[in-house]
Amino acid sequence: MYIPLISAIVGLNADKYIPLGAMTASDSLRIELTLASIGAPVLCANADDTGTFTVSDVEYVANIVKLSDDAESMVRRSVGNGKYRIHGDSFRSFNSTLDNGVNNSQIHIPIKVSSLKTLFVIHRIQASINAKNKLSITNRSRADLTEYYFQIGSTRIPQKPVKFDANGAEIQVELQKAFHSFAKKQHQISYFKSAFVKTAVGDDAGAFLVGMDMEAFSGKGDVINQGMSTISQNIFFVGSYDTVPGATLVTSFCHFDQILEIDTSTGLAKVMF
């Protein structure tokens, strides 16, 4: 099995190759992988089945470009102040909970970055997350959400709450805009409407997802940091519900710009966002 890494340093979110020769400090580049609990990756027929998985012969496959000594010297001389600065984008996630039967939520999303690009919010019934006979990551519920907006400081995004109807049209359009895929024929939806509007506690699979584009200009920007600054502002997901059908885990995914800085004099690397 081949699993691409979602990373702004050694994965799909990096804009450029990183200069490994400049990262001479000890442990300047290390990859750590954390395994999920058994109920998340394994789906069993019954809740009391013994689900197992094995990870073996793990390899990290990297694409490396080698330069001649002359080319390497030219690159080093072009670096201002002896520091490489490489743009990329990354994600952070935060969890909150909703109690059974609530009608309103104001969920704090504690992300502090200079350029927030996109926000995604998912709802999952807590009883299904680690159950061995239930899907976990792809078992997303609407949780009877009827409308929502994001509050960032004194700014409401969007200005009018996004409302849910029987088809989920408004929410679906905002989600496509968040993926920069609205009105693009090559970006087709891969799920049915019935999966997008699921809300019942006992459902085995659901595709509901809230998405919001936070960039200054509508459209994908790869290099320019055009997202919203949250350094000095608090973010809240404000939602209204008919009635949350069960204790629910709400996970917020924050997509933001970052800069990897490598100091050639010390060999140390740091990330700024």
The number of CA neighbours under 13 Å toward the Cβ of 271 is 15
Residue 187 is predicted with a pLDDT of 66
Closest CA relative to residue 171, chosen from 141, 211, 124: 211
Residue type for position 266: T
**What is the rounded distance in angstroms from the CA atom of residue 189 to the CA atom of residue 205?**
16
Q: Give domain 20-272's CATH architecture.
A: Sandwich (2.60)
Residue 186 is predicted with a pLDDT of 64
Residue 80 is predicted with a pLDDT of 75
10-residue averages of pLDDT along the chain (273 residues): 81 80 76 78 76 81 86 83 86 94 95 94 86 77 93 93 88 88 70 76 76 77 74 95 91 93 85 86
**What is the rounded distance in angstroms from the CA atom of residue 165 to the CA atom of residue 146?**
8
Residue 109 is predicted with a pLDDT of 97
Q: Where are the domains of the chain?
A: 20-272
**What is the rounded distance in angstroms from the CA atom of residue 22 to the CA atom of residue 15?**
18
- Prediction pTM value: 0.85
State the virtual CA torsion across 76, 77, 80, 83 in degrees, nearest 10. Answer: 20
Residue 135 is predicted with a pLDDT of 77
Residue 26 is predicted with a pLDDT of 63
Residue 106 is predicted with a pLDDT of 95
- Tokens standing for 255? 């997509």
